Structure formats: C-alpha cells, structure tokens
A = this chain, B = another copy of it.
Amino acid sequence: MLRNQEMLVTAAENLKEHGIKNTPQRQVILAYLMTSHEHPSIEMIYEHVRQSGFSVCLATVYNTLELLQANKLITEVAPDNDGHMRYDYLDKPHYHVICVSCNKIVDVFDDSFKQLEKKAAVETGYQIYNSQYEVYGLCPACQAKQQAAHE
C-alpha cells in the first residue's frame, strides 16, 4: 500500500498549505476525497477511516468536513436518492453526472458551466463566489438492468 502512504503525505501537504493543523483523521479523510472518485457520504467516510486502521467518531467526520469545506478544499455535491449528502474534492472545475438508481457519480471535466457565473452576476447583482452543475440520469449499468427487466 505505498500508494496510500503517498496520498496521505500529499493530503498532509495540502492541509499545511491551507494552514490547517495536521491530524491522522484529517489526512485520511482528505486523501480519501482526493483519490477515490466515489463522492462518499458521511457514513462512507466514517467507515473508510476506520477500515484504514485509524480511530474516528462521527463528530470528527462532521467537524472535518465542515473545516475542509470552509477552506474550499472540498464541496458538497448533492444528496443521493437515499437522502445522504455526498462530498467531493474540489479539483479542477467539473460537474457531476448522478445515477438516480444506483447513485453512482461521475465527474466531467468541462468548465463551460462556469461561464454562466458572469451572466448570473449581471442579472441578479449578487457577488458570485462559485457555482455548481449537476446532471441526473441513468448510468449504463442501470440502463442494462432496466433492459433485462423488460424482457
């Protein structure tokens, strides 16, 4: 598991650059959001940290996510169809395509939706900070399942 070690180091550097005190819990949580493209829920993050061999409690997961969000390292994506909010590392501008059946979330690295921010500012007088685009549909696997069911 050298990869994991490396990611923990990268995450640690990331935290330091943002002036956030380093702790094992924060490292693991941030590394998880940076590498896995699962867009995990609170519960998934909690489980992941424990399975990585570190102690955590849910309060820490909540606190850490709030902290990382305040520092614009991560963002809420959207609640999945079980009502659980999902989280993502704030990498290059991208949007999310979300399966309404299995909740699989795919990144699309296309920043053209960002251009609408200017228009929004003009229309509303708001001072814009950022924006987010989500697309809902059926992933290929779930399309296939649906096909099979109809036969």
Contact = CB atoms under 8 A, between A and B. Distances in A.
Interface of A: 76, 78-79, 85, 95, 97, 99-100, 106, 108, 110, 112-113, 116-117, 119-121, 123-140, 143
Contacts of A138: 126-127, 129
A99 B126 contact: yes
Which of A97, A106, A112: most chain B Cβ within 10 A?
A97
B140 A125 contact: yes
Contacts of A100: 129
| A-B complex: 8 closest residue pairs judged by Cβ atoms | A126-B137, A128-B137, A131-B135, A127-B138, A125-B140, A120-B135, A97-B124, A133-B133
A135 B125 contact: no
Nearest to A120: B135
A6 B125 CA distance: 32
B119 A133 contact: no
Given A108-B119, A116-B133, 18 more contacts: A79-B79, A97-B124, A106-B126, A108-B124, A110-B116, A110-B119, A113-B113, A116-B135, A120-B135, A121-B137, A124-B139, A126-B137, A126-B139, A126-B140, A129-B136, A132-B136, A133-B133, A133-B134
Contacts of A127: 137-138, 143
Given A85-B79, A106-B124, A125-B140, A116 B95 contact: yes
